């Protein structure tokens, strides 16, 4: 017990004596943890939004007006049996017109439909895939007709799936996922290197002290423990300050603007909540600082 107290006293003494390097290490930890704390929710929210957009992509198969109820029911079963189909929804002529009105708005829809004596929109099936990447395969399966037929069912009159929009969304979401992943990886790597280099600078200023302790017979771990405890204190202080900054930003900026900007409110529904994010960042700051102290000290122990 006495040795543990001695190690803590030595670590605190070293932090006071080397104020500038220690402060630099704490500031570096604060900056990197804050950046990670901002980027991780942005990454999660962007991923969730892109998945939400991808989930809204679908194929609609319009049906001839003279199709019987039995034929419509059979077509629904055929569509449900196709590979990679998540759901099939029947859209009646009235529902199609109502959806058009919702899309255009009351004024434009009234202007467009006022001159019509009947509903010109066909009934259809809305086919939602299990993944947007499978839309092309589902369309190909529907277009596989027999005996010269264009579609696999004689009551299907046409298919519309916004192919161009689907391809563009796939391209944009895929590129966004790659870019955010690369940025996150680079930031994590930069964080580790910055903290490690700052701790190395702190240890370098005390290299003579380490060499003298080795020459008088001190063991490696006897020398290493105060430095590692120092790393724990630096990580704890830096992580605590960073979490305080993130919490203030969440309370004063993110939460008040969440009702106005859907992108900001989406982070509240992410799989990684704020308490879990705080715990991960706090633990990471302590672990990185501690490991950085221990690993950096190795070169100075080779006397």
Q: What is the pLDDT of residues 247-284, one digit of tens each?
A: 888 788 777 766 665 555 555 555 667 788 788 888 88
Q: How far apart are CA 46 and CA 39, in angstroms?
A: 10
148 in Cβ contact with 48 (< 8 Å): no
Token pair, residue 145, equals 């007709």
Give 92's pLDDT tier (boundaries 50, 70, 90). Answer: confident
DSSP assignment of 142-153 equals HT--STT-SSSS
pLDDT value, residue 100? 72
User: Beta strands of the chain (E only): which ranges?
Assistant: 59-63, 85-91, 124-129, 156-160
The pLDDT value recorded for residue 41 is 77
Domain 58-161 sits in CATH at 3.30.70.3040
287: confidence class by pLDDT, cuts 50, 70, 90 = confident
Kindly report, as residue ranges, where domains of CATH 3.30.70.3040 are found in the chain: 58-161
Residues 46-91 pLDDT 10s = 777 666 666 677 888 888 888 888 888 998 898 898 888 888 889 8
138 vs 215, residue with greater confidence? 138
d(CA 187, CA 37): 11
Q: What is the mean pLDDT of residues 241-248?
A: 88
pLDDT in tens, 22-51: 777 778 788 888 888 877 777 777 777 666
Q: CA torsion sign, 249 to 253 to 259 to 260? A: negative
Interatomic CA distance for residues 49 and 173, integer angstroms: 9
- pLDDT single digits (tens) 147-200: 556 788 888 888 877 655 556 666 766 777 788 778 777 776 776 676 666 666
Q: Say what the pLDDT of residue 67 is.
A: 86
Distance separating alpha carbons of residues 215 and 104, to the nearest angstrom: 83
pTM of the entire predicted model: 0.60
Residue-level pLDDT at 173: 66
Can you give the three-state secondary structure of 246-299, one letter per residue? HHHHHHHHHHHHCCCCHHHHHHHHCCCCHHHHHHHHHHHHHHHHHHHHHHHHHH
Residue 290: both structure tokens together = 């501690």
List, for residues 113-126, the tens digit of each pLDDT value.
565 667 777 888 98
SS3 66: coil
- The whole-number pLDDT of residue 176 equals 73
CA distance readout (Å), 147 to 77, 85, 150, 154:
21, 25, 9, 11
What is the pLDDT at residue 99? 75
Higher pLDDT, 36 or 207: 36
Q: How many CB atoms lie within 10 A of CB 52?
A: 10
For tokens 């220690």, name the residue.
Answer: 22
Rounded distance between C-alpha atoms, residue 67 and residue 211, angstroms: 91
Average pLDDT of the chain, as a whole number: 75
Nearest alpha carbon to residue 209 among 26, 23, 14: 14
The two structure tokens encoding residue 13: 């003494």
């Amino acid at each position: 017990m006495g040795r543990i107290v001695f190690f803590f006293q030595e670590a605190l003494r070293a932090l006071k004596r080397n104020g500038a390097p220690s402060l630099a290490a704490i500031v570096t930890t604060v900056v990197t943890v804050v950046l990670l704390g901002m980027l991780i929710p942005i990454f999660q929210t962007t991923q969730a939004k892109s998945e939400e957009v991808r989930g809204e992509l679908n194929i609609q198969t319009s049906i001839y007006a003279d199709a019987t109820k039995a034929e419509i029911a059979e077509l629904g079963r055929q569509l449900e049996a196709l590979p990679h189909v998540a759901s099939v929804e029947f859209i009646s002529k009235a529902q199609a017109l109502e959806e058009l009105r919702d899309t255009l708005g009351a004024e434009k829809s009234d202007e467009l439909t006022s001159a019509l004596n009947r509903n010109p929109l066909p009934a259809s099936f809305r086919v939602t895939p299990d993944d947007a990447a499978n839309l092309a395969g589902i369309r190909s399966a529907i277009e596989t007709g027999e005996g010269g037929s264009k579609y696999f069912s004689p009551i299907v009159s046409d298919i519309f799936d916004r192919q161009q929009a689907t391809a563009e969304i796939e391209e944009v979401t895929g590129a966004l996922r790659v870019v955010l992943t690369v940025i996150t990886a680079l930031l994590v790597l930069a964080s580790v290197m910055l903290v490690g280099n700052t701790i190395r600078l702190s240890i370098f200023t005390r290299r003579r002290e380490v060499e003298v302790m080795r020459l008088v017979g001190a063991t490696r771990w006897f020398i290493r423990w105060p430095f590692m405890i120092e790393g724990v204190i630096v990580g704890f202080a830096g992580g605590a300050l960073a979490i305080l900054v993130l919490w203030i930003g969440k309370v004063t900026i993110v939460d008040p603007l969440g009702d106005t900007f859907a992108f900001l409110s989406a982070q509240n529904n992410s799989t990684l909540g704020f308490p879990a994010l705080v715990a991960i960042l706090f633990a990471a700051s302590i672990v990185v600082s501690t490991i950085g102290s221990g690993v950096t000290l190795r070169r100075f122990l080779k006397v």
